[in-house]
Amino acid sequence: MNSESDAGHRHTPTARFDALFEAIAHAIAVFDAGLELVSANARYYELTETSPEAARGRSVYDAFPNAQADLTEQIDAAVDGTPVVAHPVTFQRRSGTRTVEVTFVPVSADGGGAGLIFAGNDITEREELRHDVARSVAQLESIFDVIPDSVRVVDADGNTLRTNTQAQLDHAPNTPNTLRELWQLDRPRTLDGTSLFVHEHPTARALRGERVRGERLEVRRGPDGAMIIDVNANPLYDEHGRIRGAVTVERDVTFRTQLQQQLEEEARRTAELYERVSTEAERLERMVQERTRELLALQEARSRERRLTAVGQLAAGVMHDVNNALNPIMAAAYLLEAHAENPDAVRDYAVRIAKAAETGAATAARVGRFIRQEPMKGERDEVIDLAAVCDEVVAMTRPLWAERARGGQVQLERSLAPGATIRGIPGEIREALLNLVQNALDAMHGGGTLGIAARVNGDAVALEVSDTGTGMSEETRERAFEPFFTTKGQAGTGLGLAEVYGIVKRHRGSAEIESALGKGTTIRLVFPKAVDTPTATLEEMLARRAPRRVLLVEDHADSREFMQALLESDGHTVEAVTTIEDAMARLGDNPEVPFDVLVSDIGLPDGSGWDLVTHARNRWPRLRIGVVTGWEPRGNTAATDFLLRKPVRTSDLLAQVAGSGNAVLAQ
């Protein structure tokens, strides 16, 4: 084969060489013995930014015009027979600088120099990568160092490869180079005191492939020689999945653990203390409960005793009064039977029976007012102005004050607030007040000051009666409201305050006594204030009433005086007599009778009130006639305009006399 004829043909050795020449990743240039460029590949022209035409025949010393370094020394060395391999040189290109590893290899033939080959390996990208890696590693290393935990990396044999600053400080001035040395210095133990063998060390376990997490160990480090660490360890693998080492991270948790232990201890002690305190509290509570029970039992026994005493007294009182009423009735009944043929005697005994029964009925009514303590349902109640009631009672009783107080001077101290209104039955309130005034007068033998006050206090209204009399002993004060309790012997009934009590209860109020022996007494009744205003004031009511001329027939001095005073206080003119005979004399016989109203008792000393009523009705049809009786009326009721049962309620009496009431039997 002729090489000349094959020149330029693709399949000649030269053609293959050319293809290889171009395929190579390096820049290649070939220089002849005269060191002039004979051939180069495209990478060379790219690197030097020259063209084949311009470069052909160029001296090797001029063949790298854009190299940033002088290559003469390297070229000379290669020419002298010492190849220069991978010498880094920077080339300036239009697109930027490139880092190239430059190699010059001499070509020798027959022992003489035959030329030079240049090879340039562009390592710009690789260098950049290397720099990036170096930067990353530096960053990682600084991170590694600032970690407050101790970090240790060991190889598969447990030799220390790398430690961060904290890890180095752990054992300073010692530097454990192996896991075994570390183990010897640390003498690790579990928190319950079990020493670890070296193969039980977390790092050793990680080297066997285990991921160790949150292992608490006590090691001999630190100023006290005892530190508690929290250890995590991981195996490190190579790309084939083989363990090539381990990394161990240790955190000093001595302080935290101690704190935790202290807290736990504190909590335990607190719980213990709490336990003790609550046991003690329970014991105290039990004790208090026991004592309370005892006390309550005692109190109950006492109050039961008191209740029984009161009931006994009530029963005895009722029995006494019933006997008092029954005795004359029985005696009269007996005599009635014996003298049945004598009409005068019969009438006399009938009157006595009636009177005795009336007394009994009056007592029963008073006891009844004590017993009926349940609050009213509002059927008959109205709005009452306490100030008006007080004035009324004062007016009614005033004429009797001196007598009741056994002749002494009685001053009045009146303090009546406007707007002291309550809901209730006016007659009952008047009755209560009357009882209080009577008691006050009874207590002031030889005179004194009687105080009457009505006050408004928020939602409550108080009615106060005070005196400067004898006052009460503690025992009297405690028992004063009991029915039949009296310190006045025969003169007292012991029903006044009991009645007051019942009335107050029925009006949803309360009663209290303030008293000092020898100084006086104040009795205060407190009621809920009425929401609406009274329909009429006393003045208005008085103004509306025409004064009447009244003839009152009543033999009972108390009752007579009471009714007279009451009617007079209401503006009427009252003539009071005690017998039918006197009544007849007063009425006279003229068709023009000098009275507007006749009010008569039934049991009169000289006959039955019914006779008087019948006579008067027949003679003066337009005369207003009323009967006041302590028992069931069984007479000529058709002849009357009104019937009132004793004890008379003041409001009923006033209404009936004024002519405004219905002709019904008022309770």
Residues that bind ligand ADP (CB under 6 A): 435, 439-440, 443, 467, 469-472, 476, 480, 485-488, 492-498, 521
Least spacing, CB of residue 565 vs ligand ADP, in Å: 19
Distance CA 553, CA 580 (A): 7
Residue recorded with tokens 């329970």: 282
Residue nearest to ligand ADP as judged by C-beta position: 496
- The residue of the chain with the least Cβ separation from Mg ion equals 496
Q: Which does 440 bind (CB under 5 to 8 A by kind): ligand ADP, Mg ion, none?
A: ligand ADP
Other residues' Cβ atoms within 10 Å of the Cβ of residue 456 = 15
Q: Which does 631 bind (CB under 5 to 8 A by kind): Mg ion, ligand ADP, none?
A: none
For the bound state, the minimum distance from the C-beta of residue 331 to Mg ion, rounded and expressed in Å, comes to 29
- Min dist. Cβ of residue 493 to Mg ion (A): 7
Q: How far is the CB of 456 from Mg ion (least distance, A)?
A: 27
Residues contacting 545, CB < 8 A, separation 6+: 570, 571, 658, 660
- Closest contact distance (angstroms) between CB of 536 and Mg ion is 31
The per-residue DSSP string of 80-119 comes to TT--EEEEEEEEEETTEEEEEEEEEEEEEETTEEEEEEEE
How far apart CA 551 and CA 612 sit, in angstroms, is: 12
Residue 328 binds which entry of ligand ADP, Mg ion, none, CB below 5-8 Å type-dependent: none
Q: Report the nearest approach of Mg ion to the CB of residue 488 (Å).
A: 7
Task: Pick the closer one to ligand ADP by CB: 99 or 438.
Answer: 438
Count the residues in the chain.
667
Q: Which is nearer to Mg ion, 447 or 496 (CB)?
A: 496
Query: Do 586 and 620 touch, CB atoms closer than 8 A?
Result: no
Bridge partners, 414 (sequence order): 452
User: Within a 10 A sphere around the Cβ of 336, how many other Cβ atoms?
Assistant: 18
Interface contacts to Mg ion, rule CB under 5 A: 439, 496
One-letter amino acid for residue 309 of the chain: T
Residue 150 contact partner, candidates Mg ion, ligand ADP, none, CB within 5 to 8 A by sort of partner: none
Partner from ligand ADP, Mg ion, none binding residue 487, C-beta < 5-8 Å depending on class? ligand ADP
> Smallest gap, in angstroms, from Cβ of residue 589 to ligand ADP?
44
Q: What's the per-residue H, E or C state across 576-611?
A: EECCHHHHHHHHCCCCCCCCCEEEEECEECCEEHHH
**What's the closest the beta carbon of residue 355 comes to ligand ADP, in angstroms?**
21
Q: Of 492 and 635, which has the nearer Cβ to ligand ADP?
A: 492
Q: Which is nearer to ligand ADP, 521 or 629 (CB)?
A: 521
Choosing among ligand ADP, Mg ion, none, which partner's interface includes residue 444 (Cβ < 5 to 8 Å by kind)?
A: none
Least distance between Mg ion and beta carbon 655 (Å): 26
Q: Which does 480 bind (CB under 5 to 8 A by kind): ligand ADP, Mg ion, none?
A: ligand ADP
The interface partner of residue 636, options being Mg ion, ligand ADP, none and the CB cut-off 5 to 8 Å by kind, is none
Say how far apart CA 484 and CA 367 lie, in whole Å. Answer: 9
Name the residue nearer to Mg ion (CB basis): 500 or 602: 500
Residue 421 touches which of ligand ADP, Mg ion, none (Cβ within 5-8 Å per kind)? none
Residue recorded with tokens 């209080």: 436
Q: How far is the CB of 506 from Mg ion (least distance, A)?
A: 19
b/e string for 600-629 if b means 16 or more Cβ within 10 A?
bbbbbebbbbbbbbbebbeebeebbbbbbb
Q: Is the distance from CB of 546 to CB of 658 less than 8 angstroms?
A: yes
Alpha-carbon gap, residue 345 to 660, rounded angstroms: 40
Residue 406: strand, helix, or coil: coil
Specify the residue, 439 or 640, whose C-beta has the smaller distance to Mg ion: 439
Nearest to ligand ADP of 418, 446 (CB atom):
446
Q: Which is nearer to Mg ion, 496 or 630 (CB)?
A: 496
From the list 197, 196, 200, 203, the residue with the least C-alpha distance to 179 is 203
Closer residue to ligand ADP in complex, CB, 367/440 = 440
- Tell me whether residue 231 or residue 367 sits nearer to ligand ADP (CB atom): 367
